[in-house]
Amino acid sequence: MNAPAQPPRGFGLARQEEVYLAGVRGRKPAVPVAAAKLEARARRHMSRRTYAYVAGGAGLEGTIDANRAAFDRLRIVPRSLRDVSARDTSVDLFSRRLDSPLLLAPIGVLELAHRDADLAVARAASAEGVPMIFSNQASVAMERCAAALGDAPHWFQLYWSTSNELVESLVRRAEACGCEAIVATLDTTLFGWRPRDLDLAFLPFALGRGIAQYTSDPVFIRLAEERAREPQETGPITLGAVRSLVELAHRYPGAFFTNLRSPLPRAAVRLFLQIYSRPSLTWDDLAFLRGLTRLPILLKGILDPRDARTALEHGVDGLVVSNHGGRQVDGAIASIDALPNIVEAADGAVPVLLDSGIRGGADVFKALALGARAVLLGRPYVYGLAIAGESGVREVLRNMRAELDLTMGLAGCASVAEITADALAD
Ligand SMILES: Cc1cc2nc3c(=O)[nH]c(=O)nc-3n(C[C@H](O)[C@H](O)[C@H](O)COP(=O)(O)O)c2cc1C
């Protein structure tokens, strides 16, 4: 990993100095530091459909609000006079020591935010030494991102397809391109009810966006070719239908005119929509995944301690407490509220990670205090990507890490091990 080394006075001070000195020369950060401003600026760089897709959630979006409200309710109680001149934000996670307890959450369809999409994120992850979790709905095939990451850590997030043959192929490819863990996302066996996207009648996958892991997969391609040989249903030819066809022909791998004439792209999209997830999945299916790979397996979307205990019985290696950023179940428990019971259920046997609602370094601190080993950063890095591509993602990561470093110091903690539940008010 070629991550920047920890500066002697700590990451937070170095980052402040960088920003304030640039200010003396008359330059303000192009990527806003304040979370609300970051989102507002990113919105100006996004189409209506993209912003709705990224920012939106399920139903009345009560879960999105709950994620933030729960973080806000938790209060840090800073301690005094504890020599915090040297601070260490590093943590151990599986076989790696990470400079900070941050990972990049798997986020699909990043091409909506920026044309360099996952590749820009991979370059930023590598430069900042932050592990990237490749989304199963990525816009760029995992092999290309892995090449951009070099030996920087990367994991693969799996949506469990109805085709076990495809699941196996995806896992084999993840192993071959150096992924160090498999994250099976459990909370998306059905797609959440998302009014913002429904009102715009926008599903990116239906236009061939965010399906690069599939269209680069030998098993998927074979299945799509078989499908393309079957008689095709054709709907009414409207202007919208022609536009969508042209967009699909542009997106699909290969030459535009060949794609336009070929039934394959449309067959691939239809096939994808049918097989990308499996609502019939049960705990018994985990044995298949366990039997496929020796890589650590994490389950993402765990919110109930009973599920955490069952997961451990099935030999999983880690849990990600997540409500998918409020995109799946409206009115769900906030991830940070679910965390303490899951940590108790895991009882130190496996690392517990958390996402959903992390917007600043103080949120990371709170999650660590409640027992998370590390957190996954979601929407904020997509906003950085939309504003400034690779450097936008880097800025967001650097700010998050700087704020964590300073919050630790100001709360009286010199290392992550010192961040415990008694750093929070009862
Ligand atoms: C636009 C968007 C796309 C996402 N795509 C995926 C995905 O492909 N796979 C997955 O496991 N989670 C996906 N997630 C969920 C994130 O991994 C993470 O759980 C969520 O963003 C955390 O919430 P936050 O961004 O509000 O902090 C997505 C989230 C967003 C916002």
324 is catalytic: yes
* Per-residue pLDDT at 212: 98
Q: Measuring CA to CA, how many Å separate 211 from each of 174, 234, 246, 269, 301?
A: 16, 22, 17, 8, 22
Q: What is the mean pLDDT of residues 235-248?
A: 87
Question: What is the rounded average pLDDT for all residues in the chain?
Answer: 96
Is the distance from the beta carbon of residue 360 to the nearest atom of ligand 1 less than 6 Å? no
Give nearest CA residue, ligand 1 atom 28: 107
Q: Measuring CA to CA, how many Å separate 33 from each of 14, 220, 356?
A: 15, 41, 19
382 CA → ligand 1 middle, Å:
10
Distance from C-alpha of 419 to C-alpha of 369, rounded to nearest angstrom: 5
Pocket test for ligand 1, best of 324, 381, 382, 400 (most atoms within 8 A of CB): 324
* Per-residue pLDDT at 231: 85
Whether 4 shows a pLDDT value over 70: the answer reads no
Q: What is the mean pLDDT of residues 306-320?
A: 98
9 CA → ligand 1 middle, Å:
34
Give nearest CA residue, ligand 1 atom 26: 325
Give nearest CA residue, ligand 1 atom 21: 378
**Nearest of 274, 279, 286 to residue 188 by alpha carbon:** 279
DSSP assignments along 30-71, one per residue: SS-SSHHHHHHHHHHTS-HHHHHHHH--STT-HHHHHHHHHH
The residues, any chain, with a CB within 8 Å of residue 260's CB and separated by 6 or more, are 245, 246, 249
Q: What is the mean pLDDT of residues 111-136?
A: 98
Whether 161 shows a pLDDT value over 60: the answer reads yes
10 CA → ligand 1 middle, Å:
30
Residues 134, 155 contacting (CB under 8 angstroms) = yes
Distance from C-alpha of 154 to C-alpha of 130, rounded to nearest angstrom: 9
* Per-residue pLDDT at 234: 73
The closest-lying atom of ligand 1 relative to the alpha carbon of residue 357 is 27
Instruction: Count the residues in the chain.
Output: 426
Q: Measuring CA to CA, how many Å separate 283 from each of 149, 288, 310?
A: 33, 10, 8
Catalytic residue among 154, 250, 314, 324: 324
Which tens digits make up the pLDDT trace of 198-223?
999 999 999 999 999 999 999 999 99
Which tens digits make up the pLDDT trace of 378-404?
999 999 999 999 999 999 999 999 999
Whether 293 shows a pLDDT value over 70: the answer reads yes
* Per-residue pLDDT at 6: 67
The residues, any chain, with a CB within 8 Å of residue 65's CB and separated by 6 or more, are 326
Residue 107, helix vs strand vs coil: coil
Distance from C-alpha of 99 to C-alpha of 374, rounded to nearest angstrom: 11
Which tens digits make up the pLDDT trace of 258-279?
999 999 999 999 999 999 999 9
Distance from C-alpha of 148 to C-alpha of 166, rounded to nearest angstrom: 24
Pocket test for ligand 1, best of 38, 107, 196, 298 (most atoms within 8 A of CB): 107
* Per-residue pLDDT at 8: 74
pLDDT band at 233 (very low <50, low <70, confident <90, very high): confident
Q: What is the mean pLDDT of residues 99-111?
A: 98
102 CA → ligand 1 middle, Å:
15
**Nearest of 141, 144, 145, 117 to residue 131 by alpha carbon:** 145
Whether 113 shows a pLDDT value over 70: the answer reads yes
Residues 58, 192 contacting (CB under 8 angstroms) = yes
213 CA → ligand 1 middle, Å:
17
The closest-lying atom of ligand 1 relative to the alpha carbon of residue 325 is 23
The closest-lying atom of ligand 1 relative to the alpha carbon of residue 355 is 22
Is the distance from the beta carbon of residue 359 to the nearest atom of ligand 1 less than 6 Å? no
239 CA → ligand 1 middle, Å:
32
Distance from C-alpha of 78 to C-alpha of 87, rounded to nearest angstrom: 15
